[in-house]
Amino acid sequence: MTSLYHASVVNIGEHSLTFRASGTPSQLDMLIRELSVYGILEMARTGIAALETGDKCLSEG
């Protein structure tokens, strides 16, 4: 499932799994439908986001 939805596991808890996924809105809608049978405790859809890699932040010059 992770490769199908460009997802990666971020944390494995005793009773939960946290991961991040990226894709088109319709791909993410399909993922949410598939995960709904297991129960989604929390979710955030951020839209387009960008993060700087390395030691600098986007807000630094």
Give CA separation, 57 vs 11, 16, 51, 53, in Å. Answer: 24, 31, 8, 8
Name the one residue in this structure whose structure tokens are 């997802």: 7
pLDDT band at 1 (very low <50, low <70, confident <90, very high): low
Whether pLDDT at 61 is above 60: no
Spatial distance between the Cα atoms of 12 and 16, rounded to a whole number of angstroms: 6
Domain boundaries, the chain: 1-45
| Tokens linked to 49 | 């986001």
**CB-side neighbour CA atoms (13 Å) of 45:** 9
44: left (phi over 0), alpha (psi -120 to 50) or beta: beta
Q: What is the pLDDT of residue 43?
A: 87
User: pTM of the entire structure?
Assistant: 0.65
Reported as a single tens digit per residue, the pLDDT across 2-52 is 677 788 888 898 888 888 888 888 999 999 999 999 898 888 888 777 666
